[in-house]
Amino acid sequence: MGIVNVTPDSFSDGSSHFSADEATQHALDLIAQGADMLDIGGESTRPGADAVSEEEELRRIIPVIRNLRDCGKPLSVDTFKPAVMQAALQAGADLINDIYALRMPGALDVVAAHPDCGVCLMHMQGEPKTMQTAPTYENVTDEVYRFLDERKQALISVGVSDSRICLDPGYGFGKTAQQNYQLLREQDRLSGLHSPLLIGLSRKSMIAAVTGRAPRERVAGSIAGALAAVNRGAAIIRVHDVAETADALKVWAAVEQGEINGS
């Protein structure tokens, strides 16, 4: 999953492709590099991020969705606002990627009313503005498991098919570096939820915690994290650096699964 941030303030690539035309071209470049799907976001959810109005978020992402809806790849929209979800799905989006796991009033109803869309439910302790202020768990993996299970069951209870749901443990969202790495070590326990896992740790501060690198210098560390996640059951890897990650996954597949193409 290639990341397309249509924002001026994302922690890693804010303002790099802020206009609709720039974001569209960036997305097409990611597809050429090997992205299987795209995740379009119009509001930064980095720690301490300021909120964006519904109108501004729509202004940023709807033209990009319309530009890309015939690109041949599934389009995910990273939003927690029900009105934005509704407009994005009407514009041609295929999946809602919600950091609040559809806890905002009306969000469940939007997804339930669109029987063909996918949805990703993510764990987050707190909210982006304050989530990194002393996050506390008795056992992070147990609590993430219980939360994702509860949210999945809430979605199923309103008629959403299990086959439409994927889950994200929320690396970096209300978790210390130590908690993130415990969760990654124990990620295979989440297979008990019986849903595909979507993992996003590309360029995050958990990478800096062990490398000391600035966001754009975290490619190698992010790839190492991605491979660790795949080894522990990840089905989708959400990344900034598509070409490099795709190459790493091809080598991993050749070793672990014997998948060698063209030779």
Q: How far apart are CA 104 and CA 116, in angstroms?
A: 21
The yes-or-no answer on residue 204 being catalytic is: yes
CB-based contacts of 98-107 (< 8 A; 24+ apart in sequence)? 98/122, 99/45, 99/124, 99/128, 99/170, 99/173, 100/124, 101/147, 101/148, 101/151, 102/151, 102/154, 102/155, 103/151, 104/80, 106/82, 107/80, 107/82
* Beta-strand pair 118-122/95-98: parallel
Can you tell me whether residue 253 is helix, strand or coil? helix
Neighbours of 134 (CB within 10 A): 8
State both tokens at 170: 């929320």
Question: What totals of helices (H) and strands (E) does the chain contain, helices first?
Answer: 9, 8
The yes-or-no answer on residue 185 being catalytic is: no
Of these residues, 152, 203, 232, 238, which one is catalytic? Answer: 238
Q: How far apart are CA 69 and CA 72, in angstroms?
A: 7
**Beta-bridge partners for 237:** 199
The answer to whether residues 228 and 188 touch, using CB atoms and an 8 Å cutoff, is no
Of these residues, 46, 81, 204, 218, which one is catalytic? Answer: 204
Question: How many residues does the structure list for the chain?
Answer: 263
Q: How far apart are CA 170 and CA 92, in angstroms?
A: 26
| Residues assigned a catalytic role | 204, 238
